[in-house]
Structure 1
Amino acid sequence: MKKSNKRKVEIVVISDVHLGTYGSKAKELLNYLKSIEPEKLILNGDIIDIWQFNKRYFPKSHMNVIKQITSLLSKNTTVYYITGNHDEMLRKFKGFKLGNFKIVNKLTFNLQGKKAWFFHGDVFDVTMKHSKWLAKLGGKGYDLLILINTFFNWLSGLLGYGKFSFSKKIKNSVKGAVKFINDFEKTATDIAIDNGYDYVICGHIHQPEIRVFENQKGKTTYLNSGDWIENLTALEYNNKEWSLYEYSKDETLKAISKKKKKKNKEKLKENEILFNELLKEFNLNKS
């Protein structure tokens, strides 16, 4: 995408990309990152899935996301990598700085007189605190479910039916049960109010949201950046306002994506024609 077409954004927050897993929508994220010119990019945890990292599966599209983030760094974007549970190994490097790149466990900003508090959110997760092995097993099961879901939707598309998300439905049910016990959002917002934060920005639970929470002590705005597995969402801050970006509603990027797919098909067709001509030249037939 040409530089002149890029949207200027003061702050962009993405989380839960899970690069290195089958469910990660790296191509869509790359399209989004190429469409923006942020002053600050906050990677709010679980960007690379170190829990499930497998050197046999780290496709080019996943590497391209890392390259694009590096490209943004070279264009004076400040990048903060906030550690999450799936990339918790990076916590030992807390405080690391290299140019405009920083690794932290949490982050605070003053945004036009309002205090903002950024962190991944696993610190409030009951499954992380008491049963890390269960959380890791759940991560692998979720990745398998994404694979099954992908095959189901491919088959459903061939039969002319729409897409359905088993994983999202099951995850929402499970998260509802966890929320009943742990109440992630209430815990985060209560602590934010106690500490005088106007905004509390998390990831972790894959539930994009912007909502005001209020208790007897005051109120705060809770924001969750969602994920790049199913929701394909990000948070954007511009002109003193937060908004939720949804890839599914970005008609410009969807049109560009369709154009790329069409071009790739044409390229494959052209390659096939050239190969067939080569076979003819050598008097060979495809078996």
Structure 2
Amino acid sequence: MAKREVDIVVISDVHLGTYGCHAKELLKYLKSIKPKLLVLNGDIIDIWQFSKSYWPEAHMKVVRRILKFVTDGVPVYYLTGNHDEMLRKFADFNLGTFQLMNKVVLNIEGKKAWIFHGDVFDVTMQHSKWLAKLGAVGYDSLILINSFVNWVLTLFGRPKMSFSQKVKAKFKDAVKFINQFEQTAADLAVDKQYDYVICGHIHHAEIREIASTEGTGSVTYLNSGDWVESLSALEYHDGNWKIFRYRPEDFMALPESEDDDTTDTEDLKSRLDVNILLEKFRQEHH
């Protein structure tokens, strides 16, 4: 299966280490593309809910695939989010083509793109972190129950359903929060004279032009969605942005050999030595 060439790929809210993560689907997607630049925009590994008892091989394969991009010379930006916020103390760390940052501004064909996770706009995050963490655990439990229900529905040939999306649809406040989040991001981006503002965090994939509340201009707002419900990413190619949405039928033709993890672990170790990585951390942050 020929890999699809993409100039830029932006992925966020993968939540590796949780039951809701669709690691197998993400792995298929990552194996199907040949990006020139990869941006991991926060909450890739869910350190909040990380448990040694739950780290499936599929989740490790996603990490290996990302490292494969790095060893192949593809620039990879890992931008921190709230669920992996403990990495923020290592911001500005880099190793080869891998860079760990809190935010980044990219020049994309003469236009400035401001990219960050977006939890800075979340009032719950700022003032009641314990409440946000409690909500995250509840959300993950809902996804776990939803997965079981969908398994039963599939068994009986019935279409799948999303509990969390139905819950969100019932509450006008959820829609209001999303709109406020998008408007706040747009207002700040216009004020800073950026052309694009790219976020994650709210698990709602979107591309739209938003005018500032003060009428001083507009900006293209983009959100990569997530790999828990939406299974979406942002792609930039040939001067255009689009939202990629994973559909199982698009990957049916993928040969079994391609679907397996074919990463040469020894090759990765020799080219991205973990000991060198740890030593570099110690040198730069002690």
Give the structure 2 partner of residue 54 of structure 1.
51
Residues 173 and 200 (structure 1), Cα distance of their counterparts in 2 relative to 1, 3 Å cut: farther
Deviation of the 1:16 alpha carbon: 0.2
Deviation of the 1:252 alpha carbon: 3.4
Deviation of the 1:138 alpha carbon: 0.6
1:169 pairs with 2:151: no
Q: How does 1:246-261 map to 2 (within 5 A)?
A: 246-248=245-247, 251-256=249-254, 260=256
1:226 pairs with 2:225: yes
- Residue aligned with 1:76, SS: coil
Structure 1: which 4+ aligned runs deviate by more than 4 Å?
A: none
Give the structure 2 partner of residue 180 of structure 1.
176
Deviation of the 1:159 alpha carbon: 2.8
Distance 1:243 1:230 in 2: 18
Q: Deviations along 1:13-63, whole A, 9 cap, x unmatched?
A: 000000000000000000000011111100000000000000100000000
Mapped contact 2:186–2:210 kept (Cα < 8 A): yes
- Residue aligned with 2:244, SS: strand
Distance 2:174 2:60 in 1: 33
Give the structure 2 partner of residue 88 of structure 1.
85
Residues 217 and 254 (structure 1), Cα distance of their counterparts in 2 relative to 1, 3 Å cut: farther
List alignment gaps of at least 5 residues for structure 2: 261-286
Residues 173 and 39 (structure 1), Cα distance of their counterparts in 2 relative to 1, 3 Å cut: farther
Give the structure 2 partner of residue 78 of structure 1.
75
TM-score normalised by the chain length of structure 2: 0.85
Q: How does 1:119-138 map to 2 (within 5 A)?
A: 119-138=116-135
Q: How does 1:199-238 map to 2 (within 5 A)?
A: 199-215=196-212, 216-238=215-237
Mapped contact 1:45–1:87 kept (Cα < 8 A): yes
Mapped contact 2:13–2:44 kept (Cα < 8 A): yes
- Residue aligned with 2:43, SS: coil
Distance 1:127 1:189 in 2: 20
- Residue aligned with 2:137, SS: helix
Q: CA RMSD in A?
A: 1.9
Give the structure 2 partner of residue 272 of structure 1.
none
Whichever residue aligns with residue 24 of structure 1, its letter is C
Give the structure 1 partner of residue 238 of structure 2.
239
Residues 126 and 178 (structure 1), Cα distance of their counterparts in 2 relative to 1, 3 Å cut: farther
Whichever residue aligns with residue 226 of structure 1, its letter is G
Deviation of the 1:160 alpha carbon: 2.9
Deviation of the 1:173 alpha carbon: 4.6
- Residue aligned with 2:165, SS: helix
- Residue aligned with 2:89, SS: helix
Give the structure 1 partner of residue 143 of structure 2.
146
Mapped contact 2:168–2:174 kept (Cα < 8 A): no
Whichever residue aligns with residue 86 of structure 2, its letter is M
Residues 128 and 26 (structure 1), Cα distance of their counterparts in 2 relative to 1, 3 Å cut: same
Deviation of the 1:178 alpha carbon: 4.7
- Residue aligned with 1:217, SS: coil
1:37 pairs with 2:14: no
Residues 254 and 167 (structure 1), Cα distance of their counterparts in 2 relative to 1, 3 Å cut: farther
Distance 2:23 2:168 in 1: 21
Aligned residues: 256
Residues 218 and 130 (structure 1), Cα distance of their counterparts in 2 relative to 1, 3 Å cut: same
Whichever residue aligns with residue 229 of structure 1, its letter is V
Whichever residue aligns with residue 237 of structure 1, its letter is Y
Mapped contact 1:39–1:76 kept (Cα < 8 A): no
- Residue aligned with 2:146, SS: helix
Give the structure 1 partner of residue 63 of structure 2.
66
From 15, 23, 26, the equivalent of 2:23 is 26
Deviation of the 1:221 alpha carbon: 0.4
Mapped contact 2:17–2:45 kept (Cα < 8 A): yes
Distance 2:143 2:253 in 1: 25
Deviation of the 1:69 alpha carbon: 0.4
Distance 2:244 2:151 in 1: 26
Bigger Rg, structure 1 or 2: 1
Give the structure 2 partner of residue 269 of structure 1.
none
